[in-house]
Amino acid sequence: MEGIFLFINHSMTSFRFLCNRLQNRFYGFSTEVKTDKIKNNVDKTKLEVGKMTNKVYKFNLSQPAIFYKAGQYLADTGWQHKDIINHGDYELFVVLKGAAYIQIGADKFVVGPHECLLIPPAVRHVGYQGSPAGTDYYWMHFYSQANVPLDNFPVPDMHEPVAYLPQIFKLENFERFALLMRQLLDSANRSATLEITSNYLISAILIELANQYLSLSQKQQSTVPSTRFELIKNWIRIHSHEPLTVQRVSENFHITPTYLAQIFRERHQVTPVQFINRVKIAQAQELLLTTDATIKQIALELSFRDEKYFLRVFKQQTGITPSKFRNSYDKTYLNNPQVDPTIPKPASLNR
């Protein structure tokens, strides 16, 4: 994937896009995919995905990966990935909205919202089905000094400088990834930045993805059922775009507000209100980085009682205002089917 350098223009999308983003995040696959024909294709392809979902790549990060190129792609209706083979570089593909249908070798993948697909070098990959309207994704290419493809996820040595990444998985914490991604795009497009900066940032992204996959794998392998506390936290995350009070959470789980406060204090050393605000601010950070919605619109969509209260809570949580947070990483590559120039390989590969 290639792209061009542009400044982010925060008037590109509409408030309706913001609402769709939130609905997609909390209720599953993109609401753009509505027809029975597409739904059947998705279900059928999901069955095919199982062939390669257990393939894991081991990246040696004793030295940072070498950054090549990255950007954000805004796809037209029916867009399909071009037929290509990467020559030595890996590609990471993370969907924000919509879906991408990519065949790697003989295996087909559906990449939905907040899912990450790793494309290895020297393997033909191509889109095999058109994407729905509004599909939007991040892409990044990098070179790794050493890697080993594995057939399953090993028990990692936590002191070893390696990152294990599967062929495809869904991010548990998209906000953490999105912040690193915007830092990478901003750094890669600033002239007064050390060349090694992007190498360390792409490595940080690999580590973050590896940590999220490790956490996900441990949860899947655990034989201990979810506790009530985990259910409470997940319920808050799912309903974080709604008005939430301690009373409402308590009533939903048939416990007293006093007991709810007690378990949050014991497990996380925070109050329920602090946890609720922490989740809402994480959602706000993602929307600030990936949409053009105004601060007032984001405050409204996340059900803060007013914009001033949202500004105060945001600054308490992050130390800066929403505007400063959004403007911290204002440069990126944006590309689409009409704008797709060639980008030279990094000079460090020839040293």
Cβ neighbors of 211 (< 8 A, separation 6 or more) are none
- The pLDDT score that the predictor gives to residue 266 is 86
- The pLDDT score that the predictor gives to residue 275 is 93
- The pLDDT score that the predictor gives to residue 51 is 37
CB of 177 within 8 A of CB of 96?
no
- The pLDDT score that the predictor gives to residue 332 is 57
Q: Phi and psi for 311 in degrees, rounded to 5?
A: -60, -40
- The pLDDT score that the predictor gives to residue 285 is 86
Residues of the chain with pLDDT under 70: 1-54, 145-157, 219-226, 329-351
- The pLDDT score that the predictor gives to residue 45 is 38
| C-alpha to C-alpha distance for 209 and 216, rounded to whole angstroms | 10
| C-alpha to C-alpha distance for 326 and 273, rounded to whole angstroms | 25
- The pLDDT score that the predictor gives to residue 289 is 81
- The pLDDT score that the predictor gives to residue 95 is 96
- The pLDDT score that the predictor gives to residue 23 is 43
Q: How does DSSP classify residue 350?
A: G
| C-alpha to C-alpha distance for 272 and 298, rounded to whole angstroms | 22
